[in-house]
């Protein structure tokens, strides 16, 4: 393989994987902002509804280590195909949900396939990216999630307003089904990196990247902030009579489209720490701003800061971990960071609901922003010192 081919990024399998991820991610993003509202329409109180909103991530939390292992040991295309079909089926079944117990079951099972898809698609994509361009490549791959964050909430809110909750679940299922169909059209191709060592016997290191536990904890903080915003943004906007809140997601996604490839290249050249430090600062500021926002312009300003904060932080942690580990561990590298993301998404809405009840949105979100700033900085320092000592 000559040098030109070695560093080639835009191959047809890589492009098609991005498109597949757009459909699967959009399916999830269409349901996330409405789950709490939908649960309340079925009779749940705010605390219960907030807990249900985190169930999908709770299920993914326990499945994530398994997903990392199977994506390292089994054909990734087969895993993606089967998971996408099952994901579509259970999203369609949401449209027939008429009770809280049924909704709980559906969110848990949907979370299983959601987790497998998320881990496998990143691990699969990394196989078509040269190591020296991994941050840049995963930055472009991450644009799928950005497009989903722009399309999903905006489309779902419009559908819900016009046709009701159940129409959203039909549309989400159709998106996941489209991802499954696209996988059949994806051409066969060898992965770019062939330096991977043969697969070893299954050990604890095959399930979790222990050297990056601190980065996993940092991913918890970033995900907790994002989950708080996804869960409570529409409710806050309704209470404060802020019209057009769907524009928050559109502006956030537009900022991410501009910023994501740049941050990937920047990380490849200068390292992860020079990306994550400003991400922690801007992320904490953005969530505090949302807590005190009583107008759409202030919400939009917060969305831009959020794009440069949480939007750049977690993908950089994930790209760094994949780059540092052996190619045969791309699945476990991906799942380790996603375990942190799932913890944050699963528990933060439930925990936040208790603080909202007692202190209100301003105090609760201000506290979350302070936690991200203080503990995020401390965790990043600890990982830096650990890597410096090891080197």
> Domains of the chain (ranges plus CATH)?
7-186+207-390 (1.20.1250.20)
Q: According to the model, what pLDDT value does residue 3 have?
A: 44
List pLDDT tens digits, range 323-376: 777 666 777 887 888 888 878 877 787 788 778 777 888 888 888 899 999 999
pLDDT digits (tens, 9 = 90+) for 158-182: 888 888 888 889 999 999 999 999 8
| Rounded mean pLDDT, 75-89 | 90
Dihedral (CA of 190, 10, 312, 303) sign: negative
Write down the pTM of the prediction: 0.71
The terminus-to-terminus CA distance of the chain in angstroms comes to 31
Q: Which residues contact 334 (CB under 8 A, 6 or more apart)?
A: 68, 71, 119, 122, 123, 126, 318, 321, 322
* Contact (Cβ atoms closer than 8 angstroms) between residue 279 and residue 263: no
Check residues 102 and 12 and name the one with the higher pLDDT. Answer: 102
Structure confidence by residue, pLDDT tens digits, 110-143: 989 988 998 888 888 877 777 777 777 777 877 7
pLDDT bin (cut points 50, 70, 90) of residue 202 is low
- Rounded alpha-carbon distances, angstroms, from residue 216 to 150, 212, 309: 26, 6, 17
């Amino acid at each position: 393989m000559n040098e030109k081919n070695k560093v080639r990024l835009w191959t047809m399998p890589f492009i098609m994987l991005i498109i597949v991820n757009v459909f699967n991610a959009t399916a999830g993003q269409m349901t996330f902002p409405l789950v709490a509202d939908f649960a309340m329409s079925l009779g749940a109180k705010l605390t219960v509804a907030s807990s249900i909103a985190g169930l999908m991530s709770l299920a993914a939390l326990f499945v994530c280590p398994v997903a990392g292992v199977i994506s390292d040991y089994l054909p990734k295309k087969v895993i993606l195909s089967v998971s996408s079909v099952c994901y579509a089926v259970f999203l369609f079944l949401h449209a027939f949900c008429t009770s809280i117990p049924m909704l709980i079951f559906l969110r848990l099972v949907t979370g299983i396939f959601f987790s497998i898809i998320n881990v496998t698609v990143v691990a699969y994509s990394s196989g078509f990216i040269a190591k020296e361009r991994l941050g840049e490549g995963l930055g472009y791959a991450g644009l799928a999630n950005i497009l989903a964050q722009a399309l999903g909430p905006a489309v779902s809110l419009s559908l819900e307003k016009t046709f009701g909750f159940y129409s959203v679940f039909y549309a989400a299922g159709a998106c996941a089904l489209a991802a499954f169909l696209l996988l059949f059209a994806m051409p066969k191709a060898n992965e770019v990196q062939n330096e991977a060592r043969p697969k070893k016997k299954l050990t604890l290191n095959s399930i979790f990247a222990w050297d990056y536990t601190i980065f996993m904890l940092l991913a918890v903080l970033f995900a907790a902030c994002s989950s708080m915003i996804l869960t409570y943004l529409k409710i806050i906007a309704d209470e404060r009579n802020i019209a057009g809140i769907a524009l928050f997601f559109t502006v956030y996604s537009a900022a991410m489209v501009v910023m994501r490839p740049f941050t990937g290249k920047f990380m490849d050249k200068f390292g992860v720490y020079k990306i994550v430090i400003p991400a922690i600062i801007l992320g904490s500021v953005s969530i505090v701003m949302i807590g005190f926002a009583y107008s759409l312009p202030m919400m939009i300003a917060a969305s831009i800061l959020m794009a440069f904060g949480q939007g750049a932080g977690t993908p950089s942690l994930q790209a760094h971990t994949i780059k540092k580990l052996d190619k045969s561990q791309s699945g476990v590298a991906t799942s380790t960071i996603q375990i942190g993301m799932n913890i944050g998404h699963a528990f933060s809405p439930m925990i936040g609901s208790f603080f909202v009840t007692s202190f209100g949105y301003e105090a609760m979100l201000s506290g979350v922003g302070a936690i991200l700033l203080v503990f995020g900085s401390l965790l990043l320092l600890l990982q830096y010192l650990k890597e410096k000592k090891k080197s």
